[in-house]
Structure 1
Amino acid sequence: MADHYEVLGVSRDASQDDIKKAYRRLARQLHPDVNPGDDAAERFKLVTHAYDVLSDAEQRRRYDMGDSGGFGGGGAAGFGGFGDIFDTFFGGGGGGGARTRPRSRAERGQDALVRVTLDLGEVVFGAHRDLEVDTAVICETCEGGCCQPGTSPVTCDICHGSGHVQRTVRSLIGNVVTNQPCATCQGHGTTIPYPCATCQGQGRVRARRTVSVDIPAGVETGLRLQLPGSGEVGPAGGPNGDLYLEVTVEPHDIFSRDGDDLLATLDVSMTDAILGTTTTIDALDGPVDLELRAGVQAGDVLTIKGRGITPLRGHQRGDLRVGVHVVTPTRLDHKERALIEEFAKKTKAPAPHLAEFQQGLFAKLRDRFRNG
């Protein structure tokens, strides 16, 4: 049997591109529809088989190691070209089955991922973002057609528009005719003689575009939002993929989040804790009046209904829960100390003594926050 490299006219160290180009050139010359001679038909079979072997990395490796490279790749592993035979008998060969239709150039574009950072205030009600995305967009020159304006794809002169070519494979049961994707047009059924100069025949180019996004309330770090059809446009103007937004919420200096509730700690002076007071605190969405009853204790939790976060799926906002931290003065002048001592005498406060173990303030606040 003739050497496959000699049949294709390439060197033994030829690249896959060189092998493909050599096959295309010879196929155009020897295809039976172009050159009906018997000699041309035989040479076409040899060229096609040589390409089948050398275009497959594993078959080429075995051939270079001394395998005969017979039809189907030779040797026990590839004997008889069973894959092609199965294609023939189970829908892949001849007769206009699904695999014999030309392959569309237009394909779905890839999905894209964009990361967006929000502050906690934007999580309460949601946010709007105009995002700059570097992605593939449809080529304005050819409008996704891949051809230079004024030109169009032409029917492949090898497969005549079917996208496939018939090949005869010798097997244990005799000669079997199979359909294979046309190597000249890559199965599309057409070729593009004059590709668009802007997109090099891809039908799309890289560009920056703006995507306007309304981010719902209640999102949290790690959540991904899907925007169908906002990803990359596909080759040849194919449908867009999807765009995914991955959310990161920045930590807040004062407020933290517990589900749909907001948590904060309020520093209260000893006198305000004893006498009670009314104060105004700044919540994430505006001021809130807060009343402290007389005798409020460190670790008490005050709940302000409906001033938390709007849930991702729902409308009832969570609560703002404020833990009380009583601040004990550390520096007193003589007059202040005298007043405190007089107060202590009148209240007859008990002397320090052992009592049931009490966990720390922040641990108590954490448990009270969680337990409501």
Structure 2
Amino acid sequence: MTEGVLRPILDLPPEELPGEGFRKAQIAHWLYARGVRDFAEMTDLPKALREALAQAWRISEFSLVEAYPSKDGSVKYLFTLLDGKKTEAVYMPYPNRKTVCLSSMVGCPAGCTFCATGALGFGRNLTAAEILDQLLAIAHHQGISPREIRNVVLMGMGEPLLNLAQVLKAVRVMLHPKGLAMSPRRITLSTVGIPRGIYRLAEEDLGIRLALSLHAPDDETRRKIIPTAHRYPIAEIMEAVRHYYAKTKRRVTFEYTLLKGINDHPWQARLLARLLKGISAHVNLIPFNPWEGAPVGGTPKPGILAFAEELRRLGVPTSIRFSRGQDVGAACGQLALKAPKPLTFKLLPEGAGQ
């Protein structure tokens, strides 16, 4: 370790945390059940150990966190990473659950035309510690235990399957009984469709859910709105998805953002239904959430309802997912590192995370 550089303790699985014997479990409990942001708060550890931890390790991966509450109760979080780059996450409380939408990258390389994040381009991959700390920082700001957040969707900035090693490392801590102790059924990974990543996810068989951002049932349309579709045709993606379903027997969600005059025709609904035959699938239709400079527009509500009805008529389980947080740029496809009137707070004393 370079002298003076603190190592990220969240990069370690619970069984590899510093300390001897049961001290590892104590530290894990403070991090993931109590959500403390300072080693000094781990009061059942010997003072000498707390001081040694503070001299070698850091808890926070952020120098600054800004929160943007929405009128619907959700909160967008803008994180400034220790290298000065930024990423975002969204907290969505519901009556019976608390959900966070986490990012896996700074920006995104997919470049989907309907997504503000794609317009930013790719910055860099996030580490497992940076992915986990989004959830921990949100819990800290909300004044709750990290374990009260029982639903995670990896649907924020970035393509998770292009940062799969770090994403899987973070997910394993989420699932670990001494980590966040989450149910795998409550973790969803969303991908634009990277076949090799889908095969790898099937082999890992962690029990988490897969969501495919399909957005068009034909290659010609998909290539117009998703640049990466030129590399991965739908047939190749669906072959990987069918392998995933055969291997895991878990239902796959298909996300479909409806764009006016582009992918909302009745024939496309019929083609989508044929495409999904033979696997357990659920379609989430997503109304387009507008953002400044977007080159596309959304399908009006009557068209959304008609598309949904056509899919249901053909036997495809279908929902319409209206996104939360539109007023603060937190809705699906709106994450663009923009900051409307933030409530700003520090997670650590000045310089403590460096």
TM norm structure 2: 0.20
Higher helix share: 2
TM norm structure 1: 0.19
Higher strand share: 1
Greater relative contact order: 1 or 2 (C-alpha under 8 angstroms, separation 6 or more)?
A: 2
Bigger radius of gyration among the two: 1
